[in-house]
Amino acid sequence: MTFVIPQPPQATVAVAGTPDRFPVRRIFCVGRNYAAHAREMGKDPDREAPFFFTKPGDAVVDSPCTVPYPPLTQDLHHEIELVIAIGRGGADIAPDAVMDHVWGAGVGIDLTRRDLQAEAKKMGRPWDWAKAFDLSAPMSPLVPLADVPSVDHGRIWLAVNGTVRQDADIADLIWPVRDHVAYLSQAMTLAPGDLIMTGTPAGVGAVVPGDVMTGGIDGIGKIEVTVGPRA
């Protein structure tokens, strides 16, 4: 096969403790999946089925890293999240079969241009401009499922310059992993290489150039991201 332009590089994420890489196909993100975060964003968590938005696969960047402050925003926010890596594809997956399709898990930060998101919401437009920009999905190395203690409970936290801002437990997910992955698979066929960012707890907030974000999930991993100068 001959390509008419140079073939783009394959987006990948590190695998913990090995030189191996996990190839990334798509990134799905669950919106408002912690009740306290839904409330801090002015929504009622008891009235919504899970909903999703996407980031491009090449938005991933390995932690530790420095991410430039992105253009077009004055309000860049952090959102710490559990990441689920799909190893076996499928459609209409039953909740009790979801873990048979999961390769592993990691920790990610959904970087968000909050002012652009607020404008999009006000005008009834998609969130892509706010969520799907370059390097907007820093991630820790992924851990194979056999080495993950649980995707159902464990502390999830994020600090900025050493001050904790987000601190919760993944047990607080409104739609747990098995449920929201099954729901997503009803809308489209999941495939090996898909990543699912499962939502963020309360405490999201702004970061500025020079800030250092650290965070993690018990038993799964830690992440460190420095905000660089404006792009």
- Tell me what pLDDT residue 32 has: 85
Say how many CA atoms lie within 13 Å of 103 toward its Cβ. 23
Which residue is associated with the tokens 């707890």? 201
**Other CB atoms within 10 A of residue 108 CB:** 32
Q: Cβ distance 224 to 78 under 8 Å?
A: no
C-alpha distances out from residue 130 to 86, 116, 118, 133, Å: 25, 5, 9, 7
Does 12-230 carry CATH code 3.90.850.10? yes
Question: pLDDT: is 190 or 51 the higher one?
Answer: 190
pLDDT > 70? residue 74:
yes
Strand pairing of 76-78 and 112-113? antiparallel
Residue type at 34 in one-letter notation: Y
pTM of the complete model beyond 0.85 = yes
Question: pLDDT: is 34 or 150 the higher one?
Answer: 150
Strand pairing of 52-55 and 27-30? antiparallel
- Pick from 41, 14, 13: nearest CA to 200: 41
pLDDT range class, residue 35, cuts 50, 70, 90: confident
pLDDT > 60? residue 45:
yes
Mean pLDDT on 34-57: 76
> Tokens in use for 196?
């699912």
- Give dist(CA 126, CA 26) in Å, integer: 18
Mean pLDDT on 26-42: 79
- Pick from 157, 180, 171: nearest CA to 31: 180
- Give the tens place of pLDDT for each residue, 117-132: 999 999 999 999 999 9
pLDDT > 80? residue 31:
yes
% of the chain at pLDDT higher than 70: 95
- Give dist(CA 196, CA 198) in Å, integer: 6
C-alpha distances out from residue 162 to 8, 148, 165, 202, Å: 37, 26, 9, 17
Which residue is associated with the tokens 């996990």? 22
Q: Residue ranges per domain, the chain?
A: 12-230
pLDDT range class, residue 116, cuts 50, 70, 90: very high
- Tell me what pLDDT residue 157 has: 98
Q: Cβ distance 198 to 87 under 8 Å?
A: no
